[in-house]
Amino acid sequence: MALFLLLLPPLFFFPSLATLPILFPRAPQSLLANLSESNKYPNLPYSAHYFPQQLDHFSYQPKSYSIFYQKFLMNSTFWERGEPIFVYTGNEGDIEWFAANTGFMMDIAPKFRALLVFIEHRYYGTSKPFGEKSYESADKLGYLNSAQALADYAVLIRSLKHNMSAESSPVVVFGGSYGGMLAAWFRLKYPQIAIGALASSAPILQFDDITPWSSFYDGVSQDYKMCRIIDGFPPEVDILTKVFSAASLYYNYSGSQSCFNIGYEADVHGLDGWNWQACTEMVMPMICSHKSMFPPSAYDYKEFGDQCKKTYGVRPRPHWITTEYGGHNIKQVLSRFGSNIIFSNGMKDPWSRGGVLENLSSSIVALVTAKGAHHVDFRSATEEDPTWLIEQRTLEVEIIRSWIDKYREDEMI
C-alpha cells in the first residue's frame, strides 16, 4: 500500500477522483517537505540565512519592487575563496528537507573545496511573499512560477558571490525532480551564472505530448510488476476513492494534525503551492493505458481547466513550459544551444520516462541506471551502496571536475 500511495501523480488520478489531489506529484521527497517548525533538523550542518528578494522580476509596476525574505542554507566548512559554489535549486517544499536528503553534495564538497548553498523556492517553506496569506488568492499566487523562481536564484547567487568576494568562483547547480528541471532550465537561461547543472530525475519531457501520457503508469506496471492488470473494474471505481481517502490519512506524517481535511481551504499541509503550479504552467497530462495494471483512464483537458478555474479562478497554459524552455523539440535545442548538463535517471523511477535518457551532445550527458530510483544518486553514500551507484556518482564527479577545469582554462586566456 505504501508504495502505491507514494507513486500517486498529479491531477486526474482516476476519472472519479476529478478534484485536485491532496498529494504532491513528485514523491517520495515532497511527501515530507513541509515539516513543522518544531520538527526541523537540529543537526543539519548548514546555517540559515534570509535574502531580501524582489517580488516580481519581470515588471516595473511599483508593487513589483515589494520585498520578501527568501531562505537559503549555507555550509562553508570546506570552501576556499575562488573555489566552486555548489547550489541546490530548491523545489516544492521546505529547503531543510532537501538539504538533509541531498548528502551527495556534502560528500563531494571536500573534493572540490566547495561552498554549499541550498535556496528555498518562493512560496514554499518559510519563503512566502505574503506570509500565511500567500495562498489565499490568485492575485497573491500569481507570482509563483518557475521563471520567477529561476530569476530568484540568479539574483541571489550574483549577490552572494559579490558579498563573499567570490566573483571568480564557478557555480554548478544541482536539483532533483522538479528541482532538477529547474537546474537544467537555469543552465539554459542563465549560462553566465552557472557553468553546469546536474539534473537528477528531471522529467523535462513530460509536457505536451513529447512523452506518451501513459508513460508514468506504464512505467510503474513494468518496473514493479506488483499487480496483474485489473479486469472488469467497476466504472464508478468507488474503491479508489476509499484508497484516496486512506492516502490522505497517510499524508499526516508528522502526527501533528488530529484529522485531515481533504478540502482546500486553509490547507495546513502546504499543498496549494504545487496545485497552483499544476493549474497554471506545470501541466503534465497523465492517463492509464491498457498496458498498465491500473484501470484505463482518459485525460479531459476541458474538465481539468474547469477545475482549475473553479479552484483558483485561472485556466492552465498547457504549452507554456515548452514555449519558455526550448520548444516542443527540446532535445534538439539542448544539443544545439545547451552545454554542461548531466541528466541522471534510474529506470526504477516512473518519472524517468519523461527524462532525457540518451546523450544529446558531448556535454549534454545522460547517465541512466537500470536499478536506480528517484534521484537516489543525491543521497549520502553508505557502505551498502551497490557498485553501479558508486560508479554513477564517480562519473558525475569526474564530469563536474571537467567543467571546472575548462572554466579555469578559459580564465587564463
| Burial readout 133-150 (b: 16 or more C-beta within 10 A, e: otherwise) | ebbeeeebbebbbbebbb
Domains of the chain: 1-413 (3.40.50.1820)
94: CB partners within 8 A, 6+ apart = 33, 34, 35, 120, 124, 125, 126
Buried b (16+ CB within 10 A) or exposed e, 173-201: bbbbbbbbbbbbbbbbbbeebbbbbbbbb
Q: Establish whether 374 is a catalytic residue.
A: yes
Is residue 349 annotated as a catalytic residue, yes or no?
A: yes
Of the listed 134, 169, 177, 200, which one is catalytic? 177
Estimate the crossing angle of helix 301-312 against helix 272-280, to 10 degrees. 130
Q: How confident is the model at residue 13 (pLDDT cuts 50, 70, 90)?
A: very low
Tell me which of 47 and 212 has the higher pLDDT.
47
Which of 121, 269, 374, 375 is the catalytic position? Answer: 374
Find the mean pLDDT for residues 7-33: 35
- pLDDT band for position 12 (50/70/90)? very low
Quick one: cell of 245?
481517502
Confidence of residue 266 (pLDDT cuts 50, 70, 90): very low
pTM comes to 0.83
Chain-wide mean pLDDT for the chain? 84
**Could you tell me the pLDDT band of residue 188, with boundaries at 50, 70 and 90?**
very high
Reading phi first (left if > 0) and then psi (alpha if -120 to 50, else beta), residue 188 is in: alpha
Higher pLDDT, 3 or 326: 326
Query: Tens digits of per-residue pLDDT, 147-158?
Result: 999 999 999 999
Written as nine digits, the cell of 236 is 464508478
Q: Which of 349, 352, 363, 377 is catalytic?
A: 349
pLDDT tens per residue across span 88-121: 999 999 999 999 999 999 999 999 999 999 999 9
Burial class (CB in 10 A: 0-12, 13-18, 19+), 96: buried
Q: State percent of the chain over pLDDT 70.
A: 78
Share of the chain above pLDDT 90, in %: 64
Q: What is the pLDDT of residue 14?
A: 30
DSSP-derived 3-state class of residue 197: strand
Q: How far apart are CA 361 and CA 143, in angstroms?
A: 35
Residue whose C-alpha cell is 491500473: 294
* Mean pLDDT, residues 368-395 taken together: 96
Angle, helices 103-112/387-412, rounded to nearest 10 degrees: 50
Banded model confidence at residue 10, pLDDT cuts 50, 70, 90:
very low
Number of H helices, E strands in the chain: 13, 8
Take residue 19 and report the three cell numbers written for it.
Answer: 478534484
Of 123-127, 172-176, 243-247, 296-300, the one with minimum mean pLDDT is 243-247
- Among 59-73, 188-202, 224-238, 360-374, the minimum mean pLDDT is found in 224-238
pLDDT class for 19, splitting at 50, 70, 90? Answer: very low
3-state secondary structure 298-328: CCCHHHHHHHHHHHHCCCCCCCHHHHHCCCC
pLDDT band at 411 (very low <50, low <70, confident <90, very high): confident
- CA dist 64 and 31 (Å) reads 32
Q: Given pLDDT bands bounded at 50, 70 and 90, which one contains residue 260?
A: low
Asked whether the beta carbons of 171 and 24 are under 8 A apart, the reply is no
Q: Which amino acid is at 63?
A: K
Q: What contacts 261, CB < 8 A, 6 or more positions away?
A: 267
